[in-house]
Structure 1
Amino acid sequence: MQTAPFFEDLARGPAGGMTHWIVAKDGVRLRAGHWPLEGAKGTVLLFTGRTEYIEKYGITATELAQLGLATATMDWRGQGLSNRALPDRLIGHVGQFADYQHDAQAFFEYAAAMNLPKPWYILGHSMGGCIALRSVINQAPVAGVIFTAPMWGIQMSSLLRPVAWSVSWAADKVALGHLLVPSTTRRPYTENSPFLGNALTTDSDMYAYMRAQTEAHPDLGLGGPSLNWLNQALRETLALASIPCPDVPALCFLGSLESIVEPHEIRRRMRTWKNGTLIDVQNGQHEVLMETPEIRSIVMAEIGAFVARTHVSEPA
């Protein structure tokens, strides 16, 4: 398996991190990576959010290693160093949301090829939480699933929602789905928005950590989504809303200051998830894994407890 570029100094993850090129079944080249951990009692397969990339989760991998868990993650198609769909690489675009399931399948195959310690747990953040839900509905080979601010709905006003549907639908019909969603920009969020008033985290050090990564390596960065991505996201969240929760143990975190995904949809689903737990994170914003040390310690303790109660020993 061919090695891929990896900016280890920016990731600040555990020693020995490595990345490789993998290929989805439709031919899209993806970057996948992992941080090995000797004696690991399992592996977290981290499904990143929109705009994200492997290096962003180096600190998270370090904190998971302290729980005895190895971490693997990847760049979805259209972001990070994976193949991008448009000539303008700063616009987040996807043909259809089902394409992300091709990426997920290639990622599971990568984890198996690397012989990553089982049991496996998915940790899905934001868009990754949407992809993760579809994956576990499709019987992903995991012992449990963890969500942080999963994108099971997108926050917008009641007046804006029908406009978003109609404009994104119409754009596809007239071959304009590649255009940037109005009110968004081509610049990465952390570079375009100051820390004060940002929607991601209350921790200035973590915000600077994210910003420094894309400033040092602009190819990692991604701006706003395309109209087609928005339409596909709206369609997928609507489709998932009607599907019952899968029979997989689940843990979900929702920040009290969430302003990007729709908390109502998260609460609605978690109320009906058998063997599922919703943790309200006080004073947490969208990215609880990038929050203050105090919040991250609470989140990691809950993840550790979840793994302990769902751990299933693999046959020798």
Structure 2
Amino acid sequence: MSDTEDRPQFAEIPGNPAPENLVGGFIETSDRRRIRYAIAKVRGASRGTVLLLQGRNEAIERYFETIGDLNDRGFSVVTFDWRGQGGSERWPRRPSLGHVKHIGQYLIDLECVLQDVVLPDCTGPYTILAHSMGGLIALHAASRHANTIERLVLFAPLIGFASRLPSLGTLSRIATAARWLGLSTRPVRRAIPGRLPNPADNPLTSDARRYARNRHLAETAPQLFNGSPTVAWLAAVTRAMRRLEDSSEIAALSVPTLIVTAGADQVVSSAAADRLAYRMRCGSSLTIPLARHEMLQEADRFREQALEAFDAYVGSPALAAA
């Protein structure tokens, strides 16, 4: 249930103001974790509600611009911080690390936001728009929410890591072995990108202004961001990715899905995402050439293509009163 008396304070910096219609709150999940969420309802006629799922080490504040753009296109928006990051409850032992025991914990976060925030208070139809790790979680949640969610649009989903890392099978075996050796809570140092890199070595976006904005946000509100994920996190996400190689898992996916890959992605594997879309009965994919990993933080020439792809795929259902 929502905690209406405990409203979050959003971090605002020059060039990244919160949308005027943004309101927030906290919910408690079924396993008693405190999750920060935000709602921005469209004024006037509505095309439905977008549930925006973040990637690893992100926060609501990084999506202020995108929330405004979706509102301008006629969509209400709900987003939230996954447990262990942003303004949601952190792992108490080492709050600077991103830590989960299994992917099911993220699925609980999503389920509770849907049941406690989206369905009671927001107009359908409902679409999930997800980035990176959010895309991986959305795919695993899709079958259980097929009667609620009408479309998935996944930007650079975490289906596989970039080729500069060891293979998915190797990473999974290493992480699983490390867990058995009692190293679950140790940080992963170099295998997964953590904080924003230096501008000269930036795989995230080619847009200097948005990159500087996000860097300033991380410096101004460091409490919203993480360092390295843990070995347990790596074991959880690699296991979840490997499940999406299984034909029976793919066959269970029934929500129409558009996968949008970045042509210059150095963080996740675009090839793995394209293969998954090809194997899905309800999937399709497109690539935005030369775009880097964070397409919603990219230069306008790439970002507009991503938003137009979303808009075209979701379509224009009959307008309903907001």
Q: 1:217 to 1:139 in 2, by over 3 A?
A: same
Counterpart selection for 1:226 from 224, 230, 241: 230
Distance 2:11 2:74 in 1: 21
**Conserved? CA contact 2:12–2:61, under 8 Å:** no
Question: Secondary structure of the residue that 2:35 maps to in structure 1?
Answer: strand
Shift of 1:188: 5.3
Q: Give yes or no for the alignment of 1:69 onto 2:75.
A: yes
Superposed counterparts of 1:86-97, under 5 Å: 86-97=92-103
Q: 1:129 to 1:162 in 2, by over 3 A?
A: closer
Q: 1:215 to 1:46 in 2, by over 3 A?
A: same
Q: Give yes or no for the alignment of 1:277 onto 2:277.
A: no
Distance 2:140 2:103 in 1: 10
Corresponding position of 2:243: 239
Q: 1:20 to 1:159 in 2, by over 3 A?
A: closer
Shift of 1:313: 7.0
Corresponding position of 1:213: 217
**Conserved? CA contact 2:160–2:168, under 8 Å:** no
Corresponding position of 1:131: 137
Query: Which residue type is aligned with residue 123 of structure 2?
Result: P
Distance 2:38 2:211 in 1: 23
148-157 or 220-229: which moved more? 148-157
Count of residue pairs the alignment pairs up? 312
6-15 or 263-272: which moved more? 6-15
Counterpart selection for 2:184 from 172, 177, 190: 177
Superposed counterparts of 1:1-316, under 5 Å: 1-2=3-4, 3-7=6-10, 9-10=12-13, 11-39=16-44, 40-112=46-118, 115-140=121-146, 141-157=148-164, 164-183=171-190, 189-190=195-196, 193-242=197-246, 243-245=249-251, 246-308=253-315, 311=317
Question: Secondary structure of the residue that 1:88 maps to in structure 2?
Answer: coil
**Conserved? CA contact 1:257–1:283, under 8 Å:** yes
Question: Secondary structure of the residue that 1:259 maps to in structure 2?
Answer: coil
Question: Secondary structure of the residue that 2:137 maps to in structure 1?
Answer: helix
Question: Secondary structure of the residue that 2:118 maps to in structure 1?
Answer: helix
Unaligned runs of 5+ in 2: none
Q: 1:110 to 1:182 in 2, by over 3 A?
A: same
Question: Secondary structure of the residue that 1:90 maps to in structure 2?
Answer: coil
Distance 2:112 2:59 in 1: 16
Report the aligned-residue RMSD: 2.3
Distance 1:66 1:279 in 2: 24
Relative to the length of structure 1, the TM-score reads 0.91
Q: 1:68 to 1:299 in 2, by over 3 A?
A: same
Question: Secondary structure of the residue that 2:159 maps to in structure 1?
Answer: coil
Distance 1:28 1:173 in 2: 26
**Conserved? CA contact 1:8–1:17, under 8 Å:** no
Query: Which residue type is aligned with residue 139 of structure 1?
Result: H
Q: 1:202 to 1:315 in 2, by over 3 A?
A: closer
Question: Secondary structure of the residue that 1:284 maps to in structure 2?
Answer: coil
**Conserved? CA contact 2:161–2:168, under 8 Å:** no
Deviations 1:60-98 (A, max 9, x none): 111111211111100101111111124222211101111
Relative to the length of structure 2, the TM-score reads 0.89
**Conserved? CA contact 1:152–1:241, under 8 Å:** no
Determine what percentage of the aligned residue pairs are the same residue: 27
**Conserved? CA contact 2:132–2:156, under 8 Å:** yes
Distance 2:141 2:166 in 1: 32
